[in-house]
């Protein structure tokens, strides 16, 4: 393994995020529980899991975009910046767009409808103080030059995602966070978007893609992290995890893929406001409960890690 692969661009340790509901009595929603992650330059990490497991909350915590009702614990660092403890000015001037580029789900999340794409990209570059030429930026993400003269409502889904990636790269960040970047796209555009994100990783960036699309993750990911009910249940090199999943939940996700049986996992994930103690998957899967150690803590085995280590393997 090379030095590029072992160096860490963003480190997360023991991250907890919970949301306060109501006042009397106060109830808490545990959205992220005890998460450890390392994003490494030159690699794309896909964070996968069913909707509602806490994946998107993770990116909001890392970029300081959580609502006031959120409470965080743990450590998250990019460069010399403590992301969880940084004030808004530091996040705005040193992190968002500079250290960390954000790729959203749709153009509507980051584009003004009354201005052309080109004018908005040029403004983004000026704001970030970067010398990047917008035409060069467009070429890097395979955005046709004619698209720079279009308004957001004139963009196709795939073109809009390329604009989003261009905006995220405008400040030449070392880390890219992409939250469901293929949502609403057909399969060829999903593949193209994932290929562009993988290319950005191969340029030396650390890329985190949050997705519920395992086919997309399998296509592009170097590393895989599987999340269930606020917790990571398995991590490791993507090719190894897909070839030999250790956790019952990971096996269930893969079995639900077309070509792998197309068999959905029975039942539904628990509500984050009412998570059970111990392993949250055992209450959904009798087969898993029969072998589960009921310990949701990840245990490392070399480059791989798994929860419920005794039974899942």
**Domain spans of the chain, in order of start:** 3-99+173-231
pLDDT in tens, 95-151: 999 999 999 887 667 899 999 999 999 999 999 987 789 999 999 999 999 999 999
SS3 119: helix
Segments of the chain assigned E as strands: 10-21, 27-39, 44-48, 70-78, 81-82, 100-103, 175-179, 206-211, 223-228, 231-237, 299-301, 304-306
Alpha-carbon distance of 77 to 35, in angstroms, equals: 13
Count CB neighbours of 101 within 10 A.
25
CATH number for 3-99+173-231: choose from 2.40.40.20, 3.30.420.40, 3.40.605.10, 3.40.50.300: 3.40.50.300
Distance CA 168, CA 175 (A): 10
Kindly report the pTM of this predicted structure: 0.94
CA distances from 288 to 137, 176, 246, 250, 297 (A): 48, 35, 11, 11, 16
Tens digits of residue pLDDT in 218-247: 999 999 999 999 999 999 999 999 999 999
Q: Binning pLDDT at 50, 70 and 90, where does residue 1 land?
A: very low
């Amino acid at each position: 393994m090379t030095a590029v692969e072992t160096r860490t661009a963003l480190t997360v340790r023991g991250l907890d995020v919970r949301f306060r509901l109501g006042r009397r009595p106060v109830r808490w929603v545990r959205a992220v529980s005890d998460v450890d992650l390392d994003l490494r330059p030159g690699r794309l990490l896909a964070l996968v899991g069913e909707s509602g497991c806490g994946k998107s909350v993770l990116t909001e915590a890392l970029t300081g975009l959580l609502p006031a009702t959120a409470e965080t614990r743990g450590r998250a660092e990019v460069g010399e910046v403590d992301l969880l403890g940084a004030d808004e000015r530091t996040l705005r001037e040193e992190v968002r767009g500079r250290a960390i580029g954000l790729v959203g789900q749709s153009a509507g999340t980051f584009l003004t409808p009354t201005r052309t794409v080109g004018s908005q990209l040029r403004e983004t570059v000026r704001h970030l103080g970067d010398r990047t030429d917008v035409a060069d930026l467009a070429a890097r993400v395979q955005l046709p030059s004619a698209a720079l003269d279009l308004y957001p409502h004139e963009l196709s889904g795939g073109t809009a995602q390329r604009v989003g990636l261009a905006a995220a790269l405008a400040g030449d960040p070392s880390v890219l966070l992409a939250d469901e970047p293929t949502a609403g796209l057909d399969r060829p555009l999903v593949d193209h978007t994932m290929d562009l994100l993988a290319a950005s990783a191969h340029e030396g960036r650390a890329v985190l893609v949050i997705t519920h699309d395992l086919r997309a993750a399998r296509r592009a990911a170097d590393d895989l992290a599987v999340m269930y009910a606020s917790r990571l249940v398995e991590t490791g090199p993507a090719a190894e995890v897909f070839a030999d999943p250790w956790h019952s939940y990971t096996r269930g996700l893969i079995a639900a893929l077309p070509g792998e049986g197309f068999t959905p996992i029975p039942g539904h994930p628990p509500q984050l406001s009412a998570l059970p103690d111990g392993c949250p998957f055992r209450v959904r899967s009798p087969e898993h409960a029969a072998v589960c150690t009921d310990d949701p803590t990840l245990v490392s085995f070399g480059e791989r890690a798994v929860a419920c280590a005794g039974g899942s393997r």
